[in-house]
Amino acid sequence: MIIEPRVRGFICTTAHPVGCARNVREQIAYVLRQGSIPECPKRVAVLGCSTGYGLASRIVATFAGGADTIGVSLEREPSASRTGSAGWYNNRAFEIEAQKIGRSPLTLEGDAFSNDLKKSFIDRVREKFGQLDMLVYSMAAPVRTDPDTGKTYRSAIKPLGNPVEIKTLNTETGEVFETTIAPASEDEATATVAVMGGDDWKRWIDQLGDAGVLAPGFRTLNYTYIGSELTWPIYWQGTLGRAKVDLDRKAEAIRGRLGQDAARVVALKAVVTQASSAIPVVPLYGTVLFKVMKQLGLHEGCIEQIDRLFRTRLGPGVEVDEAQRIRLDDRELSPGVQAEVLRRWPLLSTETLGELADLPEYRSQFLRLFGFGIDGVDYSQDVDPRVVT
């Protein structure tokens, strides 16, 4: 079949197997050019391994660090007439390339929130690794079912307290407009914490610890985003911010059990992901931020950011902020970058977007998540959606 992108809002319902595989190989090539990381943990788990920062973590650990990895993600399998999810293709492309260098990765696809998958995961870790040296938690899901109560929670990305009027962007039409977002109810805020806070992360670590599969010196990382004052009204000062505070509390609880350096929340820069595309103001902020950071020579995508994390921020004595987080958003939040973004912000309109921001780059990065717009791929070619090469 000929596979084309089908985009509805912030969702692309198709993915290209050849494009996804090539995108994975390009990230691997970048990491290989940077050289090895001898001190990298050698038995690494990545939850949310198939796209974005999770996929980048698995690539860096494997191809720079020489690690064997076990990944977990929830994917859609392809059929003869329908494409799989981008993550399904990414997982298989990663496995093919890892096996070429003598690694033997293992991927479990299913609901990482469930106790059944956690149990299966523990069994496979015992069988394949014995113990784990590191676990990276990089999951972003809008819905979570508590495995103990059976209650399903749905996140709501809203402000707290009062309505917020904010400038945003329709990424399909290029229209910049003002919108008012109603505040969350207390039930919505609680549900958002249940989905996006640290409860599931801590459950994973507690169950792995109780099962005896955490090696001495084990470390765990959880990726987050804090952002700038432009995104705070809907992000840090809203339901998401409350969830992030819970994440910090859970990190402290894990450190209380495993040691002071055992658990860190890592604040990363803004990048294009399917999850971030759904957050009001974030796409508009991203189009401006990317243009400014590129002009200043500071822009990083997922693979560049995670490569820098593993090379420079995981050794002993790493500097952390007042909440004990590792900060990799330093370039985004540097005074020069933020001053220029803030200067442009009030000038943004539908008419000035092309001059002040980079919507084509944002759209390009979004489509690349699904294997489209990748150089060297013939998208007019008939391909089998069930095959990754």
Largest CA distance in the chain: 59
Active site residue 223: no
121 exposure class (CB count in 10 Å sphere: 0-12, 13-18, 19+): buried
Is residue 369 within 8 Å of residue 56, measured between CB atoms? no
What is the three-class DSSP state of 214?
A: strand
The residue among 194, 358, 338, 350 whose CA lies nearest residue 272 is 358
Is residue 181 within 8 Å of residue 159, measured between CB atoms? yes
The CA-atom distances, in angstroms, between 52 and each of 39, 71, 332, 365 are: 23, 13, 18, 11
Rounded Cα distance between 46 and 53, Å, is 10
Rounded Cα distance between 53 and 95, Å, is 17
Q: What residues contact 38, with CB distance under 8 A and at least 6 apart?
A: 65, 66
Rounded Cα distance between 191 and 326, Å, is 26
Q: Which residue has the tokens 């059976």?
A: 150
- Cα-to-chain-centroid distance, residue 31: 18
Is residue 151 within 8 Å of residue 187, measured between CB atoms? no
Q: Which of 30, 153, 235, 285 is catalytic?
A: 235
Helix axes 52-63, 86-100, angle to 10 degrees: 0
Which pair of tokens denotes residue 295? Answer: 């002009």
Query: DSSP per residue over 253-269, as a string?
Result: HHHHHH-TTSEEEEE--
Active site residues: 235
